[in-house]
C-alpha cells in the first residue's frame, strides 16, 4: 500500500469521526430554558401559543413570539396539562422519537474497530521508518540512496574546474542520456559503469553531480558504507531495492561514493563467501551485469583506493571505464581558485596565477580551504576585502602549520633552531636541481620548532637522481649546522625527522627506483596481507641485504659530505642568516637572496618596529618543556603518484 492510499484511509476515518460527533450534537436555537413548573405556570396564565411535545422535551412559542424549552419529567402524568392546553386553544404538536439512519448506526458500531485499525497502521508506519522511510526496524532491506530530481541538481560543468581531461571523458555520458538513439542506431552501448579514481578532495563527487546536472536526469546518491549492516543479507537487499527504484526513474544515474567500503577483493576477510560485505558485493555484480538488463542506468563510483577493488567489479560490462581525477596542475589550480574566489570580495592585488604557482600538490578541496582561511584571516582584522597578504598567511598555515606563538623558548633553543633552519636553507639553495627556498621561519608551527619551506618553480612529474640526492643533502643541512657551531657532543635531537626522511629516500633509491650501483632491480615490494593490510616484503638473501645497506649508507655519506662542504664554505652566510632569523623570526626569498649575495637582508614588508629596535620580544624560558624536532616535516617522506601508483619523494 503506497503513501497515497494510506493518507486517503486516514482522512476517511477522520471525516467519519467528525460526522458522528456533529450528528450527536443537539440543534441549538434562541430558545429560553425554563423549568417544568415555570412551563405549567405559563400555560395557566394563557401565555403559550404553541407547543411541541417530544418524549423527553417540550418546546414551544409564547404569544409574544419568544421561544422556550423545558425537559419533560420522566413518568409524570400530564393528562390534565393537555386539557388545559386545549381549553386555551394552544396549538399542540407531537414529535416521535428520533430514529438514526442505518449508516449512522453502522458507523457508531464500527467506530472502535476503525480506531484499532488506525492505531495499527500508525505503528506499522513507525516501524517502517515513517512517511520518509529508511530508519524503522522493518526498513532494513530498503535502500538508503537519496534521490535528487533533475530540478534539484544545480551543479554543471561550469562549476567543475581543474579536471579538463576527466570532464572530456564523461561528456559522452551526458550526450547519451540526452539522446540515446544517437548511439543505439550505430549499435553502440554506453558504459554501464564509470569508476572515478583519484586522491581525496580532487572533485570526484562534484563531477558526478555535474554529469546529472548537465543531463537533467534523476540522481541517486549513496555511500558504500550504507549497504553493510550487522545482519547478513541486508546489504544485498538494499542493492536490489536501489536498482528497483532506479528502474522506475530510468534513465538515471546511481552514484556510489567510497565504493571500496563494499567492493574490496573477496577472500581476504574472515568467513569467506558468507561475509556480509561479500554478499553485498556479489549482489552488486549481478545487478550491474547479470541476466536482467538494466538499460538506462549508469553507475558512477568514486574511490581513492582502486588497488583494493575486486577484479570482477572492474571488468568490462560493469565498470567499463576508469576516469582518473588527478591533482590539478598550475593552470587547473588557477581555474579552481577563480571559481572559489567568486564568493569572496578580493582586493586588486590578489592574483590567482601567483597563488596557483605557490600551491603545488594542492587538491580542489585544499584550494577551497585556502580561500576560506584567507577570508577568515581578513574577517579577524575587520577588513572589507581579502588581500594578497591574507592569502599568503593562509597558504603558510596550510603548508607549514599554524603558528604556536604562545610556546615559550629559551634564547639558546631559539638560536639553535635558527642555525638548524639556516643550514637547511643554505644547502637547499646551493644544491643543483633543488627546489628554490621559499620561506624560513623559527616560529613554532605544528609539531616543529622551525620550518624551511621549498617551492618548485613548476609541477614535477618525475625526479632525477641528482634532485633526490640534493633533497637528502638539504635534509642533513640542519644537523650539520649544529655540529659546526656547537660541536658533535652538543648536537640536539631536532634532526630525527630529517634523518628519517633522508634514510627513506635513500632506501627507495636502492630498493625501488634502481638509482644505485646495484642496478635497476626491485628489492622491496608491497603486498596485500591478511585482512587486506599492506605489508612490505623483501625476497633477497642476507648477502644482498648487506649490499643494500652498504649502498644506502654510501648515498647518505655522499650527500652528507656535500652538505658539510657547502656549509663550511659559506660559514659567513650561515651566521648572517642566523642573525636575520633571530631578529625577524621569518625571512622570505628576497631576504635569502640578500644573504646569499653577502648583504644584510632587508626588513620584511610586514615588519613592525613598535617594540623599539624591531626585534621580536624574547620569550620566557621553559626548562621543563621537551624540545620537538626542529625543522621537521610531520608528513611522510614518500607519496604515491595517483595515476600509476609509483612512489615519489613528497614535496615539502
Residues at the binding site for ATP are: 198-205
Judged by DSSP in three states, 589 sits in: helix
Residues 137/127, Cβ–Cβ less than 8 Å: yes
Judged by DSSP in three states, 43 sits in: helix
Rounded Cα gap, residues 178 and 144, in angstroms: 27
Q: What is the DSSP letter of 309?
A: B
Q: Which three cell numbers stand for residue 131?
A: 512517511
Of 615, 533, 545, nearest to 582 (Cα)? 615
Rounded Cα gap, residues 66 and 60, in angstroms: 9
Rounded Cα gap, residues 377 and 375, in angstroms: 5
**Could you give phi then psi for residue 429, rounded to 5 degrees?**
-70, -35
Q: Which residues are annotated as a binding site?
A: 198-205, 420, 424, 498
Q: What is the side-by-side order of every strand in the sheet holding 91-94?
A: 32-33, 67-71, 57-62, 48-53, 91-94
Q: Which three cell numbers stand for residue 428?
A: 637547499
Residues in the chain: 652
Q: What is the DSSP letter of 147?
A: E
Strand partners, 57: 71
Q: Where are the alpha helices (DSSP H) in 226-363?
A: 234-249, 276-288, 311-314, 330-341, 352-357
621 CA to centre of own chain: 43
Is 421 part of the annotated catalytic residue set? yes
Strand partners, 586: 441
Q: Which residues are annotated as a binding site for Zn(2+)?
A: 420, 424, 498
Rounded Cα gap, residues 364 and 33, in angstroms: 83
Residues 395/438, Cβ–Cβ less than 8 Å: no
Residues 207/195, Cβ–Cβ less than 8 Å: no
Judged by DSSP in three states, 526 sits in: strand
152 Cβ contact list (under 8 Å, min separation 6): none
Rounded Cα gap, residues 564 and 427, in angstroms: 9
Judged by DSSP in three states, 64 sits in: coil
Catalytic residue among 334, 421, 585, 651: 421
Catalytic residues: 421
Amino acid at each position: 500500500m503506497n503513501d497515497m492510499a494510506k493518507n486517503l484511509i486516514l482522512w476517511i476515518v477522520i471525516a467519519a469521526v467528525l460526522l458522528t460527533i456533529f450528528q450527536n450534537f443537539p440543534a441549538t436555537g434562541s430558545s429560553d430554558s425554563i423549568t417544568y413548573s415555570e412551563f405549567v405556570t405559563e400555560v395557566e396564565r394563557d401565555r403559550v401559543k404553541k407547543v411541541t411535545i417530544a418524549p423527553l422535551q417540550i418546546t414551544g412559542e409564547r404569544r409574544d413570539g419568544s421561544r422556550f424549552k423545558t425537559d419533560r419529567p420522566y413518568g409524570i402524568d400530564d393528562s390534565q396539562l393537555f386539557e388545559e392546553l386545549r381549553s386555551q386553544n394552544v396549538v399542540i404538536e407531537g414529535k416521535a422519537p428520533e430514529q438514526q439512519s442505518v449508516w449512522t448506526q453502522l458507523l457508531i458500531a464500527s467506530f472502535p474497530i476503525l480506531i484499532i485499525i488506525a492505531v495499527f497502521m500508525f505503528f506499522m508506519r513507525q516501524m517502517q521508518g515513517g512517511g520518509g522511510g529508511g530508519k524503522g526496524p522493518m526498513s532494513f532491506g530498503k535502500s538508503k540512496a537519496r534521490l535528487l530530481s533533475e530540478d534539484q541538481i544545480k551543479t554543471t560543468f561550469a562549476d567543475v574546474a581543474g579536471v579538463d581531461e576527466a570532464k572530456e571523458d564523461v561528456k559522452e555520458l551526458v550526450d547519451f542520456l540526452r539522446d540515446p538513439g544517437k548511439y543505439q542506431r550505430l549499435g553502440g552501448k554506453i558504459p554501464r559503469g564509470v569508476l572515478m579514481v583519484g586522491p581525496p578532495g580532487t572533485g570526484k563527487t562534484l563531477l558526478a553531480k555535474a554529469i546529472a546536472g548537465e543531463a537533467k536526469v534523476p540522481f541517486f546518491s549513496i555511500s558504500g558504507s550504507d549497504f553493510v549492516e550487522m545482519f547478513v543479507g541486508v546489504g544485498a537487499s538494499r542493492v536490489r531495492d536501489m536498482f528497483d527504484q532506479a528502474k522506475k526513474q530510468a534513465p538515471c544515474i546511481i552514484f556510489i561514493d567510497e565504493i571500496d567500503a563494499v567492493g574490496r577483493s573477496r577472500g581476504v576477510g574472515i568467513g569467506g563467501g558468507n561475509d556480509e560485505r561479500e554478499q553485498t558485493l556479489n549482489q552488486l555484480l549481478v545487478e550491474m551485469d547479470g541476466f536482467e538488463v538494466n538499460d538506462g542506468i549508469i553507475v558512477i563510483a568514486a574511490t581513492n583506493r582502486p588497488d583494493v577493488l575486486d577484479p570482477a567489479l572492474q571488468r568490462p560490462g560493469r565498470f567499463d571505464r576508469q576516469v582518473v581525477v588527478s591533482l590539478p596542475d598550475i593552470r587547473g589550480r588557477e581555474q579552481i581558485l577563480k571559481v572559489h574566489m567568486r564568493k569572496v570580495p578580493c582586493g586588486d592585488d590578489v592574483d590567482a596565477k601567483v597563488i596557483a604557482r605557490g600551491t603545488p600538490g594542492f587538491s580542489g578541496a585544499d584550494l577551497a580551504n585556502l580561500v576560506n582561511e584567507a577570508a577568515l584571516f581578513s574577517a579577524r582584522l575587520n577588513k572589507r576585502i581579502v588581500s594578497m597578504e591574507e592569502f599568503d598567511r593562509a597558504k603558510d598555515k596550510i603548508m607549514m602549520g599554524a603558528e604556536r606563538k604562545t610556546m615559550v623558548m629559551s634564547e639558546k633553543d631559539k638560536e639553535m633552531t635558527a642555525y638548524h633552519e639556516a643550514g637547511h636553507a643554505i644547502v637547499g639553495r646551493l644544491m643543483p636541481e633543488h627546489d628554490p627556498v621559499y620561506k624560513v621561519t623559527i616560529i613554532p608551527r605544528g609539531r616543529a620548532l622551525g620550518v624551511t619551506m621549498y617551492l618548485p618553480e613548476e609541477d614535477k612529474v618525475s625526479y632525477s637522481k641528482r634532485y633526490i640526492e640534493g633533497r637528502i643533502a638539504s635534509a642533513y643541512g640542519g644537523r650539520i649546522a649544529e655540529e659546526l657551531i656547537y660541536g658533535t657532543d652538543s648536537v640536539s635531537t631536532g634532526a630525527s625527522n630529517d634523518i628519517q626522511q633522508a634514510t627513506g629516500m635513500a632506501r627507495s633509491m636502492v630498493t625501488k627506483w634502481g638509482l644505485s650501483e646495484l642496478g635497476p632491480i626491485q628489492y622491496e615490494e608491497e603486498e596485500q596481507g591478511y585482512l587486506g593490510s599492506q605489508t612490505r616484503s623483501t625476497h633477497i638473501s642476507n648477502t644482498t641485504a648487506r649490499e643494500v645497506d652498504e649502498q644506502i649508507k654510501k648515498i647518505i655519506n655522499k650527500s652528507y659530505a656535500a652538505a658539510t662542504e657547502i656549509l663550511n664554505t659559506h660559514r659567513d652566510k650561515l651566521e648572517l642568516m642566523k642573525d636575520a632569523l633571530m631578529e625577524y623570526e621569518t625571512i622570505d626569498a628576497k631576504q635569502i637572496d640578500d644573504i646569499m649575495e653577502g648583504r644584510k637582508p632587508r626588513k620584511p614588508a610586514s615588519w613592525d618596529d613598535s617594540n623599539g629596535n624591531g626585534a621580536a620580544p624574547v620569550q620566557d624560558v621553559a626548562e621543563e618543556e621537551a624540545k620537538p624536532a626542529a625543522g621537521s616535516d610531520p608528513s611522510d617522506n614518500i607519496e604515491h603518484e595517483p595515476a600509476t601508483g609509483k612512489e615519489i619523494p613528497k614535496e615539502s
